[in-house]
Amino acid sequence: MSRCLVIINPSSGGGAARRYMMDLQLQLTSLFDHTEVKFTAGELDATRFAKAATENHYDAVFCMGGDGTVNETVNGIAQAGGDINFGFIPVGTVNDMSRALEIPRSPLAAIHALSHSVIRHIDIGRCNDKYFCNNIAAGIIPKVVEEVTPKEKSILGPLAYFARGGQALLNNKSFNYRIITEDKDFVVKSPLVLALLTNCVSSFEKFMPTATVDDGFMRIIIFKEYFILDILRIFPLVISGSIYNSRYVDIITVKKAHIQLLNEVNDLPTNMDGDRGPDMPVELEVLPKFLRVYVPDQHHKYKKKASLLPNPANLLPKI
């Protein structure tokens, strides 16, 4: 008998997750013999639920929430060894993972897409004793982004993070880091250091166009020190997806890295997949194709589009 667990964060998307619960359950009844639903009530609930489901040999675990809920669920799967299929329905503010995997950001569309989904093996990252799906960042921006309120998220959506990030850049404050990779050991001064597994950050889908979710590498993006007037040039580059090829960043492509903060700072947290991450120093490692994820079958999409096209034979003039 096939079994799946559904983990729902009732506070995600301003409570939107509850509205789509029945739609998701109905869809999953056509895919599994038994479906169980659990609601999170606090931090790390999703991790505990997903870990237990994996250890008890469920066939799949799904979650409905934002990037933070996805991260917690994946941490539970990884802690238990990863032998389970994973799916998620995005109802958060940014939903970077749905963008990176081309999962519809409309909850209903994402639910309906499960009927023609396929399994894709994607990379995740390990950071000390935790795991991340998309990115981990260190610097002044992660510190202020952590302060974004639920009210700001509901009113501004992803722009809330963009606005906070802009405020942080105006502070023009940099920190000293020591970065050790497989073949490099160097010290750099930077306002923001970002380790990225996908092409997408904070809803910007072209941030790192060369990256894919299953290439076995992470990109460490080191923002260089800048003058205040440079901000007018940096923002358009981020939005257009050209920052990776600009003079404002250095990028190294690696499988492992050690990052150490050399400044004495009381509170400079990392940000991991949108939530607070481990304190410095951090040991980073890519786990290639570790996670088995339900994603829409792109061939189905193209086949559906093709079926909507008129038959060329019908366009020929009748003789």
Break the chain into its structural domains and give their ranges.
3-115, 132-288
> Which residues are CB-contacts of 274 (< 8 A; sequence separation ≥ 6)?
66, 67, 68, 71, 92, 94, 96
DSSP string, 109-124: HHHHHGGGEEEEEEEE
pLDDT band at 247 (very low <50, low <70, confident <90, very high): confident
**Tens of pLDDT along 20-35?**
989 999 999 989 999 9
pLDDT band at 195 (very low <50, low <70, confident <90, very high): very high
Return d(Cα 149, Cα 157) in angstroms, integer.
11
> What pLDDT sits at residue 317?
45
Question: 270 pLDDT exceeds 70?
Answer: yes
For 57-69, what is the mean pLDDT?
94
> What pLDDT sits at residue 226?
61
Q: What mean pLDDT value characterizes the chain?
A: 83
Q: Which CATH architecture has domain 3-115?
A: 3-Layer(aba) Sandwich (3.40)
Q: Which two tokens stand for residue 311?
A: 């038959």
CATH T-level topology, domain 132-288: Tumour Suppressor Smad4 (2.60.200)
For 234-248, what is the mean pLDDT?
67
Query: What amino acid is encoded at 83 in this protein?
Result: D
Q: What does DSSP say about strands 117-127 and 60-65: parallel, antiparallel, or unpaired?
A: unpaired
The highest-confidence range among 9-23, 182-196, 220-234, by mean pLDDT, is 182-196
Q: With contact defined as beta carbons under 8 Å apart, do 255 and 286 qualify?
A: yes
**Tens of pLDDT along 280-304?**
999 999 999 999 999 998 766 545 5
Question: 160 pLDDT exceeds 70?
Answer: no
- Sign of the torsion formed by the C-alpha atoms of 160, 153, 220 and 187: positive
Question: 76 pLDDT exceeds 60?
Answer: yes
Q: How far is CA 284 from the centre of its chain?
A: 16
Residues making up the chain, counted from first to last = 319
Residue with the larger pLDDT of the pair 192 and 226: 192
Find the helix or strand (DSSP H, E) in which 27 lies. Answer: helix 21-29
DSSP assignment letter at 201: B
Residue with the larger pLDDT of the pair 276 and 302: 276
Q: With contact defined as beta carbons under 8 Å apart, do 259 and 281 qualify?
A: yes
> What pLDDT sits at residue 311?
53
Instruction: Please determine whether the domains at 3-115 and 132-288 fall in the same fold group of CATH.
Output: no
Distance in angstroms between the alpha carbons of the first and the last residue of the chain: 60
Q: Give the closest residue to 212 by CA, choosing from 295, 279, 116.
A: 295
Q: Report the largest interatomic distance among the alpha carbons of the chain, rounded to a whole angstrom.
A: 85
**Tens of pLDDT along 121-154?**
999 999 999 999 999 998 876 665 665 555 555 5
For 33-57, what is the mean pLDDT?
96
> What pLDDT sits at residue 312?
43
R_g of the chain computed on alpha carbons:
21
**Tens of pLDDT along 81-105?**
999 999 999 998 788 899 999 999 9
